Structure 1
Amino acid sequence: MYLNNKNITLPEDPNTVVWKYLDLSKFLDLLMSKKLFMSRSDKFEDQYEGTFSEPTYEEIKKIAENNPEFLQYYKSHREKVAISSWHINEYESFAMWQIFTQNSEGLAIQSTIGRLQNAVIPEKKFDQFIGEVNYIDYKKEHIPFDDVFFPFLFKRKSFQYEREVRIISDVTQSNTKLNDGLKINVDINQLIEKIYIHPKSENWYKNLVIQLVEQLGFDFTIEKSDLESDILI
């Protein structure tokens, strides 16, 4: 496993704050299994996920004229790559609550870049990296393809609001078959710095989350979202 790659960039400060917004069932699955779920790259809503920009695709097509397997490799590679997405932001994001939690019973994990790096437990069977996503114009800009991870670290500019950092697993070299995704071993206490409860949730829900976390043997700091603070006037 290689969590560092000279071609893949990350914010320099390991204390850069990152977030993951999810529902209670996925959160409990993370705590109970001590494994982080990663979605297969071609299962994301964005159909461009793991594909190339137009200038790069034209370049690859020329190379593939005499070597059709070259293009086929890139097409099938998406089925071998799994991704866990995290959002860079010093503060909570109202937009992220809206997009990634379906109702008022969602929550957010607060972590840091350094914690993510330390939380992922080395995997002998396949490669893993952590990298920051670049947002480009897919009609004009070039995505380099001298590193097989690059297609998964570029997205269209319309997704810039995500400010995404990704944990990426590539199982190409192993016999692992990805269906919807992959679960990887993580150190939960490293991964999670704080838990924030959905801003529109009731007090009983916060108390339930606290109780469940305690029963599972963890002692994270659990906060109600700052977005629902009392108005001062």
Structure 2
Amino acid sequence: MYHHNSNIKLPEDTETIVWKYLDLSKFLDLLLSQKLFMSRSDKFEDQYEGTFSEPTYEEIKKLAIDNPDFINYYKTHREKVAISSWHINEYESFAMWQIFTQNSEGLAIQSTIGRLQKALQPENNFKQYIGEVNYIDYKKEYIPFDDLFFPFLFKRKSFQYEREVRIITDVSDSENNTKLNEGLKISVDINQLIEKIYIHPKSENWYKNLVIELVKQLGFDFTIEKSDLESDILI
């Protein structure tokens, strides 16, 4: 169920286009289970993920002198938060294809902020939020930590090109003390979540046909686009 939190920034315009680049096996898993996989926040590649900037850390160390549980609380909180990353862009991105898909097989899901909000299902029982990541200088800038989400919505400036939007699921309040292990799968309305699919620009025709066939066999009818980056060489 989508919650609004006033400290979390999001583009005003719900029509803002977002993308998720993924490989075929993750995509199939999404369609077959009708659940979106969310990665546990401390399992990301970026080892700074969910950590503090230096000025913030100095501040927190002072607080922690009187209250040693404070830092522990944040460490364990990271194990209770799962994240699904999306990327704001009006168009598909050549760089994102390269970073997030291997060997010219992969897909991009195109959605919008409004669709993400509507796709989250009420039966998820967890607190879920959607927020835009702030990119800051970790050496100099201070992260306000009056909010439990702050570690998950700040990244170093060198990641600015990602223009990331995150669906954040917090299971810390859930009754049955949910264990996250690698992550969590949450129910989503696939037809809301996916507006269009783009197939990797360098993929072979058999692969494109396979994706089209799979989507049809599974009974979905979202638009499947050929990548705009595909070269129709006009000479």
TM-score scaled by length of structure 1: 0.97
> Deviation of residue 229 (structure 1)?
3.2
Q: Which runs of 5+ in 2 are unaligned?
A: none
What's the offset of the Cα at 1:125?
Answer: 3.4
Task: Give the RMSD, CA atoms, in angstroms.
Answer: 1.0
Gaps of 5+ in 1: none
Between the aligned partners of 1:84 and 1:67, the Cα distance in structure 2 is 32
Once the two structures are superposed, what CA deviation does each residue of 1:39-80 show, in whole Å capped at 9, x if it has no partner?
Answer: 001111101101111111111111111110011101221111
Match of 1:65, SS state, is: helix
- The C-alpha deviation readout for 1:68-109, integer Å capped at 9, x for no partner, is 001110122111110000010000100000000012110100
Q: Which residue of 2 aligns with 1:229?
A: 231
Q: Which residue of structure 1 aligns with residue 15 of structure 2?
A: 15
Other-structure match for 1:188: 190
Counterparts of residues 66-105 of structure 1 (less than 5 Å): 66-105=66-105
1:204 aligns with 2:206: yes
Q: Deviations over 1:162-194 (max 9, x none)?
A: 000000011111211001100011000000000
Distance 2:166 2:124 in 1: 20
Q: 1:46 and 1:158, CA in 2 relative to 1: closer, same or farther beyond 3 A?
A: same
Q: TM-score, normalised by structure 2?
A: 0.97
Instruction: Please give the alpha-carbon distance, in whole angstroms, between the structure 2 residues aligned to 1:128 and 1:103.
Output: 33
Q: In the aligned structure 2, how far is the partner of 1:101 from the partner of 1:44?
A: 16
- The CA distance in 1 between the partners of 2:233 and 2:147, in whole Å, is 50
The one-letter amino acid paired with 2:71 is L
Instruction: Tell me the distance in 2 between the aligned counterparts of 1:60 and 1:232.
Output: 59
Question: What secondary structure does 1:85 align onto?
Answer: strand
Which 4+ stretches in 1 moved above 2 angstroms?
122-126
Question: Structure 2 CA distance, aligned partners of 1:205 and 1:133?
Answer: 34
Question: Does the Cα contact within 8 Å between 1:125 and 1:173 map onto a contact in 2?
Answer: no
Aligned to 1:176: 178
Alignment of 1:217 onto 2:219: yes
Structure 2: distance between partners of 1:71 and 1:140: 21
Quote the offset at 1:123 in angstroms. Answer: 4.5
CA contact (8 A) 1:37 1:84 kept: yes
SS at match of 1:72: helix
